[in-house]
Amino acid sequence: MKSKILNVSLNRKVENLSYPIIIGDNILSSSGEILKEFIYKKNVIVIYDSFFSVKTSPNNEFEEFVQSINKLTTTLNFIDIPGGDQTKNINQLNEIIEKVLTYGIDRQNVIIAFGGGVIGDIAGFAASILLRGINYIQVPTTLLSQVDSSVGGKTGINSKIGKNLIGSFHQPQAVLADINILKTLPNREFRAGFAEVVKYGLIKDLEFFNWLNQEYDSIFIYDKIKLQKMITKSCEIKAKIIKNDEKEGGKRALLNLGHTFAHAIESFGNFDGRIIHGEAVSIGICLAFKLSNKLCFCSTDDTKKVINLFQKSKLPTSLHDIKKLSISTSGMIQKFKLDKKNRQNELTFILNKRIGESFIKHNVSVNVLTQFLNEEI
């Protein structure tokens, strides 16, 4: 199967920027050749998920990756950290930075983030602040990170107050997504990643949403041709949105459909794994459609179609599906107030007029949200 190569182009006032996303099957063993222009005769530090330290990967994809790039680098060092949102904290960030600094780095060094969204987020953030910015490459190993978090330059960590409140925009030099490694994922993680895929159809592309509904069975038996098409289309939609809005001053906020609810839900779980990001996004998107319907923006029929696809995917679709978390209306409202999309203390949500057409709704009433959440909790 031939690899797909997309370019993410960003229109900047001072200088434009573009970088490749390479999406293919079993391409980690060719990583050195693919990434040669970025790593040749460079000091490289690989920050990777400690999951790959154990021989859990049937074909040792991580070892193949290391062997491939080792031929080209001047030095190659490693830092392993655990996956999971609890890793995205200031203490872990400081530990990474101190380890990287012991290698005597300069601005010609390259960090490679090998793992899921958590690894990419924290490694990318470390790269953005070390020496005021060094280059990094994303090698996402989960469905969620391949279609979403590895593309677009959002990096960061969580605070005790909320999710992703500390971070920066720092674009990678390249993204290398190997479909083959998705087979190492637990089923729960793959399904959670699918929630982010569905999001793209909901915000921008009815035809893609319908295709996902139609090809659902093939996707969940890991049909590689369908997976490549799905991941490529997701990245294409995201790349088009961020092209003219790198730092989320406008339409890039559409990519946060469901995330205002999701981030609040996750923080109730203290990022301890009782609910993972994609599951929270699934609930968040369903709540966003229900709220859109309540405010007469979106039809009941479209709302049911969205909920049905997530239910078919065995993802949670309501707050009643996560009774293990003690969620309250007042607590949710307080967490909404921390959302980065808000303006001048006005609550902002991404809502939908229909499947395939999201919009930014400013100044959503606290009274409306309170009534809505009381009905949902």
Q: What is the DSSP letter of 233?
A: H
Q: According to the model, what pLDDT value does residue 13 have?
A: 62
Residue 253 has pLDDT above 60, yes or no: yes
Question: Domain 197-376 in CATH: superfamily?
Answer: Dehydroquinate synthase-like - alpha domain (1.20.1090.10)
Residue extents of the structural domains in the chain? 4-183, 197-376
**Known active-site residue 259:** yes
Question: Which of 154, 163, 170, 290 is labelled catalytic?
Answer: 154
Q: According to the model, what pLDDT value does residue 98 have?
A: 97
DSSP 34-76: HTHHHHTT-EEEEEEEGGGGSTTSTT-HHHHHHHHHHTT-SEE
pLDDT tens, residue by residue, 299-335: 999 999 999 999 999 999 999 999 889 999 999 999 9
Q: According to the model, what pLDDT value does residue 313 have?
A: 96
**Known active-site residue 341:** no
**Known active-site residue 290:** no
pLDDT tens, residue by residue, 100-146: 999 988 999 999 999 999 999 999 999 999 999 999 999 999 999 99
Question: Which of 199, 251, 252, 335 is labelled catalytic?
Answer: 252
Question: Which of 163, 277, 341, 361 is labelled catalytic?
Answer: 277
**Known active-site residue 189:** no
The CATH number of 4-183 is 3.40.50.1970
**Known active-site residue 263:** yes
pLDDT cut 70: percent of the chain above it: 97
**Known active-site residue 362:** no
pLDDT tens, residue by residue, 357-372: 999 999 999 999 999 9
pLDDT tens, residue by residue, 17-65: 899 999 999 999 999 999 999 999 999 999 999 988 755 545 588 999 9
**Known active-site residue 320:** no
DSSP 98-160: HHHHHT---TT-EEEEEESHHHHHHHHHHHHHGGG--EEEEEE-SHHIIIIITSS-EEEE--S
**Known active-site residue 277:** yes
Residue 373 has pLDDT above 70, yes or no: yes
CA dihedral 294, 298, 300, 305 (to 10 degrees): -130
Q: According to the model, what pLDDT value does residue 190 have?
A: 97
